[in-house]
Amino acid sequence: MSDELDPELSRCFAEANQPLPDAEFHARLIGRLQQPYGWSALSGAVIRGSRAALAGLAVGIAAPFRLRFGHIGLMTVSAAALAIWATLQSA
Amino acid sequence: MKSTLPGAALGQADERAVLALAICGDAAAFSELVRRRQSWLRNLLRRLCRDPTLADDLAQQVLLQAWRSLRNLRSAGAFGAWLRRLAINTWRTHLRAGKAPLTEDVDADETAAAEPPMPGEQLDLDRALSRLSDDERLCIVLAYSEGMSHSEISDATGLPLGTVKSHVKRGAERLRTLLQAYRPIEANRHVR
């Protein structure tokens, strides 16, 4: 199939693409361009950072409850060994 | 908004020169680019999403994004194509977000047969376009409004070439059927 276009439809599109008044559109855009982009970027970064910190805390709190029984035993033994070693060091 | 060129000179300068200034952060030069391109960009988005208010909002988003990423533009000659691609991506992002239904969920053939235009209703290309699927409409608008070839549309949209050809062919047929429903009114207007 070639790229040939229907001339009737081409005419419809050409008629629809009229120049549009630009004053209001242009003024609105320039107003948005002059807004301090830094503030919105900074506030976005603070929000994203806060969310990440809260997510990290939630994961940290929830993680021990998700451990398997064998891992809990291993951690208990390691903690006991560490406590004994620390006690012996301080004695 | 200050520029390295006076306003009158900016208004008459070649687009590549204006673009070079805008890339260096000259906001007045970018404003001049907006003045030159806004009508084309808004018309393109109006064809794609029918609603003029939404089209203007999307056009504003496109131009703000263009201002922030103008340094990524590789060639001054590619500015129009780059802006068009930004517009297509912005429109598609809007569609994915599902912010507003842009396609009227009506079968074209059924509509043409069951809903003859009301007396006084005029030819409305955008309304007819809104009856096409999103991809069909995109391909038709890029072919007929932007004068792009099938392979250029395929490059710009990421759609396979065969799909583009099929969308343009089928979309044009459906559009013709829809627009024919308005012709009696046009004819009557000419008789008067």
In this prediction, residue A37 carries a pLDDT of 57
Of the pLDDT bands very low, low, confident and very high (cuts 50, 70, 90), residue A4 is: confident
Q: How far is B112 from chain A (nearest CA, A)?
A: 17
B166-171: Cβ within 8 A, 24+ apart: B167/B135, B167/B136, B167/B138, B167/B139, B167/B140, B168/B139, B168/B140, B168/B143, B169/A1, B170/B136, B171/B132, B171/B136, B171/B137, B171/B139, B171/B140
Of the pLDDT bands very low, low, confident and very high (cuts 50, 70, 90), residue B121 is: very low
In this prediction, residue B80 carries a pLDDT of 93
Lowest pLDDT segment from A8-12, A13-17, A72-76: A72-76
More confident residue, B153 or B116: B153
pLDDT (mean) for B122-126: 72
Interface of A with B (CB under 8 A): 1, 3, 5-6, 8-10, 12-13, 15-20, 22, 25-26, 28-30, 32-34, 37
In this prediction, residue B182 carries a pLDDT of 67
Name the CATH topology of B7-96: Rna Polymerase Sigma Factor; Chain: A (1.10.1740)
Q: Mind listing the pLDDT tens digit for each residue in B45-82?
A: 999 998 899 999 999 999 999 999 998 888 888 899 99
In this prediction, residue B120 carries a pLDDT of 40
CB-based contact A12 B179, cutoff 8 Å? yes
Q: How far is A36 from chain B (nearest CA, A)?
A: 13
Statement: residue B43 has pLDDT above 70 = yes
- Cα–Cα distance between B167 and B148 in angstroms, integer? 14
Lowest pLDDT segment from A12-21, B10-19, B84-93, B175-184: B175-184
CB-based contact B172 A19, cutoff 8 Å? no
Lowest pLDDT segment from A14-28, A49-63, B92-106, B160-174: B92-106
Q: How far is B68 from chain A (nearest CA, A)?
A: 10
Q: Mind listing the pLDDT tens digit for each residue in B140-153?
A: 999 999 999 999 99
Statement: residue A59 has pLDDT above 80 = no
More confident residue, A79 or B103: A79
Q: Which residues of B are less than 8 Å from A6 in CB distance?
A: 172, 176
Query: Domain B108-190 classified CATH 3.40.50.720?
Result: no
ipTM surpasses 0.85: no
Of the pLDDT bands very low, low, confident and very high (cuts 50, 70, 90), residue B9 is: confident
Question: Where in chain B are the domains?
Answer: 7-96, 108-190
pLDDT (mean) for A64-91: 79
Which candidate from A6, A17, A18 shows the least CB-CB separation from B145? A17
Q: Considering only CA atoms, give the Rg of chain B.
A: 19
Tell me which chain A residue has its CA closest to the CA of residue B124. A16
Q: How far is B75 from chain A (nearest CA, A)?
A: 23
Tell me which chain B residue has its CA closest to the CA of residue A17. B43
Which of A9, A22, A35 to substitute to test the interface with B, most B CBs within 10 Å?
A9
